[in-house]
Chain A
Amino acid sequence: MPEEEGGEALIHVAIKAEELFQLGPLMVTNSMVGALLTTLLLLAAALWITRRGTVVPTRMQSAIELPIELMAGIISTSSSRWRGYAALILGFFLVILIANWVGLLPGVGTIGIHQVVDGHEVLTPIVRPASADLNFTLGLSIVSFVMFIYWGIRANGGRGYLRELLGEPLYMAPLMFPINLISEFSRLISLSMRLFGNIFAGEVLLATMLALAPLFIPAIFLGLEFLFGFVQALVFALLAMTYISTAIAEHHAGGHDEETDHGATNGHATPTPAAEAATHA
């Protein structure tokens, strides 16, 4: 924490998840409660829709189906082998979407228990949105990182993947290999940092606005954060999808000149516009 010399701080900001209580060897933090709440909400929605689902959707059913239909439409146009990763991407999207929106529920940042942390009393919220914790976003990024390397190796073979890392003219490999390696790992860092930074900054923004102008003004920012939560979930899912679909397509697009003996399979050689955008970035 920074040194607080002059008076009370306007708001209490914790960059780490705060500890609530000890459960055996496990220290339960408030972001774990948030993650649990997210899972329960998703589970309840899944149970509800499988029990009560009708062919002609009711209002509630279409509200649940709306994000799934949106994502399914995007995923199914991403590459020819979308069936393999559709479930993963859809899962990412739904979990992050609900985890982001949990932070906007009334009482999430304000209902808590009083704890004494180095001398002065602070309010520890019981629930913290899971995606405002770096552990959660890093975990999701590691899953997507492992998956796109796995898909790359499965599509191109271990040697193909290694050749992709070494770069195109082989004599440039000493230079290109570290660069490619760093760029692979920077995806991991940027995926997790983007989600964490956005949601954490959103929480801080909401708390600041609530402290400055408690009436009406925070409502505007709540609406804004509602939108941002959706956009960030979409961005994470789309980037993970693009990484996977380029990992699958790279070999066919890159090793075109040497392995054209089965030219008939070149139908999906052209990367999608989304894949194109991410490779040039």
Chain B
Amino acid sequence: MDSNLAAGLAMGLGAIGPGIGLGIAVSKAMEALGRNPEASGAIFVPYILGIALAEAIGIYALVVSLLLIFVG
């Protein structure tokens, strides 16, 4: 039971940071796109990489909570 609570906390708290980071990344990308629509090709790849790296932190939290549920 304790590990289920820990898993919920790990995922919930661990999602805060990546959520904020993703919000900032997407908003800045959209801003850049709004200012200069022709740059969409140049923005696309670094944008995808950036959100992937921010998202990875959330995935770490997910992995920890999965471990807590199924292993711990």
A: residues with CB less than 8 A from B are 1-2, 13, 15, 74, 78, 190, 193-194, 197-198, 200-201, 231, 234-235, 238-239, 242, 273-274, 276-278, 281
Are B63 and A239 in contact, with the CB atoms below 8 A?
Answer: no
Q: Which of B13-72 contact A (CB under 8 A)?
A: 42, 44-46, 48-50, 52-53, 55-56, 59-60, 62-63, 66, 69-70
Neighbouring B residues of A74 by C-beta, 8 Å: 44-45
- Sampled A-B contacts (18; CB under 8 Å): A2-B4, A2-B69, A190-B56, A193-B56, A193-B59, A193-B63, A194-B52, A194-B55, A194-B56, A194-B59, A197-B62, A201-B62, A234-B48, A235-B48, A238-B49, A242-B49, A277-B46, A281-B53
**Contact present for B59 and A198 (CB under 8 Å):** yes
Decide: A15 near B66, CB < 8 A? Known: A190-B56, A235-B52: yes
A276 touches B62 (CB 8 A): no
Q: Is the CB of A277 within 8 A of B59?
A: no
Which residue of chain A lies nearest to B72 when distances are taken between CB atoms in the complex? A2
Tell me which residues across on chain B come within 8 A of A234, comparing CB atoms: 48
Residues of A within 8 A of B59 (CB): 190, 193-194, 197-198
Contact B52 A274 (CB under 8 A): no
B67: nearest chain-A partner, CB-CB: A15
Main secondary structure of the interface of B (DSSP, over half): helix
Alpha-carbon gap, A6 to B59, bound state (A) = 29
Secondary structure type dominating chain A contacts: helix
**A-B contact number at CB 8 A:** 57
Number of residues from B at the complex interface, CB < 8 A: 20
Q: Identify B49's interface contact among A197, A201, A235, CB under 8 A.
A: A235
Question: In chain B, what residue has the closest Cβ to A276?
Answer: B46
Known contacts A2-B69, A15-B70, A274 near B60 by CB under 8 Å = no
Neighbouring A residues of B3 by C-beta, 8 Å: 2
A-side contacts of B63, CB under 8 Å:
193, 197
Give Cα A197–Cα B52 distance, bound, in whole angstroms. 12
For B48, the chain A residues whose CB sits under 8 A away are: 231, 234-235, 238
Alpha-carbon distance between A15 and B56 when the two chains are bound, in angstroms:
19
CB distance from B14 to the nearest CB of A (A): 12
